[in-house]
Chain A
């Protein structure tokens, strides 16, 4: 007998719990409007600042991404080299394509001045290579200006064969040394 009573009690409690739970879920909805109108200022501000915080965190994350992206783009810009054929200052199709990307960066960064360095391999003679390096830097400058970069954003300098990228007396080294490099002023 006693067992039956207690079982019935548990059953009743469970049912009433369920009813309470469903009521509790609905309760705030029905109560919110009047509360908000009358006395809810304090609680409402808290909710707003929470939303603001969420928004600010999200914004900061995006800004960080942009900064990182800008750094990457700048690094890529500075890492880019334009290569030339022996005793030649003309731009290959590949060089032109690369330079379009360089021009894009410079146009997005109008405040920056770039120094275009012209370099040569060590096969020619030093003085002629100084002049050749100057022509290589000038070729790059001309292309960038034609691609819409401000003239005032570009300075050229020739190092001839004085600053090789790699040491060596073979075609591999020579090819790496016949180049234009970019640095920011």
Chain B
């Protein structure tokens, strides 16, 4: 099993408080339940799921309020994944809370009858400011507990506890980690400039990272999720900076003459970055050390070379080049240096993003004044269009589990950040804020707190 939460010094205190106790009987601990969600096409069929409001296990008003918040967050988070159809609570045959929440107290037939293939029961206990949440995931058809967990912490840890359960649940069902512990960085217009913003996977906890006075754009996550590289005009021209997300420490990485744009960390270790520089007179992609020294020039072609995006093993680089007269996506094998053109449909294909499983590349393709998100296999086969007739859809990036894509869209006027499943379904806005938002970047599984 993957280690989901490698503990880090900065998180130790919180983690200690949010001690995670696995005390419930767990019939299915040793075998994985991957057959619920087909990982190769997870959105083919949504799993009908019942999610009654958690039961109050302590006698006070606040417990009930918290139960309501837990139900709401659980509902929104699981709905976000696109895996499930959440059954309307008015269809429930069992009133939430009337029956017990443990296996022997569940009337599985009542849940089967409304078509629930999965059921989550929850309990909330608040005693002396210590919050305890317990969740059980059931399979009403097999009449068994899939798994159960109890979390103990402070009331302010509620969101973290619920999202940990969601993460655990997705991990149990898909064999892969979930996105509930991830963040999304993007650029947004401010009064006078453009700033890098950060929010949770679901748009919550929105905050601005850069000053908002100068233009800052193109955020790129380090593979460990702790740092963001981006371009900023704070010194009067486009230079690349790296910021530690947790501390806010910012350092200048590259300020060569001309352009210093489109940074991308080279996976898997992130000890080097690629970026487009123009100090030699032409816009070329270079490898930089993590202290900003030019290590190697990667592209050698007349015309623009920009927007590097690496395969997860760091052995191949997708990028955009104008070498054929119009911008197209190319793939370079970094070991052999061999470069081949990936996109042939359309006259303007840019912003490649390599999927975390390494098999596909998302990009934005333009025709006329409109742009759309496309996904193509890394070998150039299997082209699919994910958006259509909805303005400019640009700058796709994958969720770290590869099941979702974040992108920008002008479908409602100004450019906003949207999320959809990797098959293009469930397109919905992520954040609601004024001005244009663009260039979203989805963090690795463990993003800085």
Contacts and interface: CB of A to CB of B under 8 A. Distances in A.
The answer to whether A binds B is yes
A168 to B, nearest CB: 12
Interface stretch (B19-27, B95-103, B106-114, B255-263): B255-263
Given A124-B348, A158-B238, A131 B261 contact: yes
Contacts of B366: 123-125
A126 B348 contact: no
A156 interface: yes
Interface string A146-185: 0000000000111100100000010000000000000000
Interface string A105-129: 0000000000000000001111110
Contact of B395 (A125, A132, A159, A162): A125
Contacts of A130: 231, 238, 259, 261-262, 306
B433 to A, nearest CB: 18
Nearest to A162: B215
Interface stretch (B74-82, B158-166, B276-284): B276-284
Contact of B304 (A123, A135, A169): A135
Interface string B231-255: 1000011100000000000000000
A126 B327 contact: no
B194 A162 contact: yes
Interface residues of B, number: 36
Of A127, A134, A162, most buried by chain B (CB within 10 Å of CB) is A127
Interface of A: 87, 123-128, 130-132, 134-135, 138, 156-159, 162, 169
Interface string B330-360: 0000000000000000001011000000000
A169 B278 contact: no
A156 B257 CA distance: 9
B132 interface: no
A124 B369 CA distance: 9
Interface string B342-385: 00000010110000000000001010010100000000000000
Given A87-B348, A135-B283, A127 B307 contact: yes
A131 B282 CA distance: 9
Contacts of A128: 304, 306-307, 320, 322, 327, 350-351
A14 to B, nearest CB: 86
B371 A125 contact: yes
Given A125-B371, A158-B259, 14 more contacts: A87-B348, A125-B366, A125-B394, A127-B218, A127-B350, A128-B327, A128-B351, A131-B261, A131-B278, A131-B283, A132-B304, A134-B258, A138-B278, A157-B236
Nearest to A157: B237
Interface string B290-328: 000000000000011111000000000000101000110
